[in-house]
Structure 1
């Protein structure tokens, strides 16, 4: 089922990414952000539909602000400063159980930035990366998915030492190293095949930094799910679980790749 889903989804995603307008890709990112936010707030605000809907709206607002005002430091600072106060107001209006109120404020602050900001980086990467924008998005995906694939197979056949058993019992140190190796392979593939403008040294550095931190992003999402006692964040992607289950590492690799493009290009 996983393979069939990938075979159907990959050509559609690549067609929209390379042939469609940047706003079309941004629209797809917005849909994914809304679903991912709904999955996240279903964990943190399980008994409050209004708060969940508000969390989704805030996530889309974050995405909209960074899309519209990505070149305005003032607007981005205002977003960062105002979001905690909005989260507190939402929680005051939807107080619920006092014991979890502070955690819900934090979730309402973190969630929109985590999902809307992380996936929003992919929209900005497509728009602001110039002619290579779509290829940089593919690079971010390769760093995430190659790392995930390498970690799976290395862990399955070579795994001996647990990486972080309390959070993810199946992950191993050998799997993490295999994931890092596959991230390097993905970066080399990009450099020699479809992203020749990316210097080799930069490609290797991105693979190590983004690939390694992407695995940390995977662990972070596992931490959320384990703390709430669930296996998958959702079931919208056949054979893959929820949106968050598929983009947990991509949220990190996409952000780091965008920052690289932002800071390295004139």
Structure 2
């Protein structure tokens, strides 16, 4: 009987074969190597907490933004400068205020038009600018009827001007042009109507001072006591406590001006202040809604700490119309 030659001990899987005795041929045995050990996984870095995160920095700014999300030093400085320009123009020569309003409205029209273009709309800019000039001039010289005629002619100009670009997206672009016309020059025309009477400077001051009171009162009460959001999906920083502060501040500002400077009843000042607190807040929320829909933070960057001119007019524009109507009732010229 024939026997197989001795091949030596059988190696285990994963081990190197034992060395062969001298003179004994090595057998080509295939072995299976054990997999290399995986590197140790380092634990993830701890997630920063609110305590470890410093103040939020505004892009491009060296100083941290305040709780309002703005550079408050720049905002206060620019606000004081604008207030000085308005006050001097009203007290020195009333038509100078008309020039200030006209310049601001032309810039605001451009800002709002450019903002709407980021959303795909193309409002006709030329007819709105020309119509805005005409509306403010007619409001100064012809009163409410002149403002209305200027508005209708501007809307007609927008519709006809847009025809030159063809039918594609005509409704979208023409509607955007009408929106700009209503939102900016038409509402601003009521501020011009406030200026027309002999006591127009006092009427404009009552209107602007009350809106400023809305901003200051709302900001102060919101920072100190704000806990319940007013419209979180539109403006998360606004609160019901801030709204209460706005109403209180507006009433405190408006009542003495209406009673002492315009010879109106005390209840007229209270009504005027409360109404403008509502319209100023609605105007602010309305512009915030447009900006959120367009995905932009500000309408422009002309005013440090504020954004654009349009960002400062958002509360004033709707309030101008209500101020004109209420003062025509409680303190007629």
TM tier relative to shorter chain: 0.7 to 0.9
CA-CA distance at 1:205 after TM superposition? 0.4
Greater helix percent: which structure?
A: 1
Q: How does 1:49-128 map to 2 (within 5 A)?
A: 51-72=124-145, 75=146, 77-95=148-166, 98=169, 101-128=170-197
Note closer, same or farther for the CA distance 1:202–1:238 as it changes in structure 2 (3 Å cut).
Answer: same
Tell whether 2:68 aligns with 1:2.
no
Higher relative contact order (CA 8 A, sep 6+): 1
Change (3 A) 1:198 1:90: same
User: Following the alignment from structure 2 to structure 1, what is the Cα–Cα distance between the partners of residues 176 and 123?
Assistant: 15
Q: 1:238 aligns with which of 289, 293, 304?
A: 304
C-alpha distance 59-95 of structure 1, shift in aligned 2 (>3 A): farther
Counterpart secondary structure, 2:238: strand
Q: Which residues of 2 match residues 141-180 of structure 1 at below 5 A? A: 141-180=208-247
Point out where structure 1 has 5 or more consecutive residues left out of the alignment: none
Identify the residue that residue 228 of structure 1 maps to in structure 2. 294
Matches of 1:224 and 1:180 in 2, distance apart? 24
The answer to which of 54-63 and 156-165 deviates more is 54-63
From 254, 263, 266, the equivalent of 2:320 is 254
- Provide the C-alpha distance between the structure 2 equivalents of 1:182 and 1:117, rounded to a whole number of angstroms: 27
CA distance in 1, matches of 2:235, 2:157: 33
Indicate if the aligned counterparts of 1:70 and 1:76 stay in contact, CA closer than 8 A: yes
CA distance 1:91–1:45, change in 2 (3 Å): farther
Q: Which one has a bigger Cα radius of gyration?
A: 2
Give the secondary-structure state (helix, strand or coil) at the position aligned to 2:196: helix
- CA offsets, 1:76-114, max 9 Å, x none? 55445444443322332235863xx42322221121222
CA-atom RMSD in angstroms: 2.5
Does the alignment pair 1:40 with 2:40?
no
Specify every segment of 5 or more residues in structure 2 that has no aligned partner in the other structure, as ranges: 1-73
* SS of aligned partner of 1:265: coil
TM-score by length of 2: 0.70
* Number of matched pairs: 258
SS across alignment from 1:163: strand
Q: Indicate the residue corresponding to 1:23 in structure 2.
A: 95
Give the 3 Å change call, closer, same or farther, for CA 231–96 of structure 1 in structure 2: farther
- Match of residue 264, structure 2, among 177, 189, 198: 198
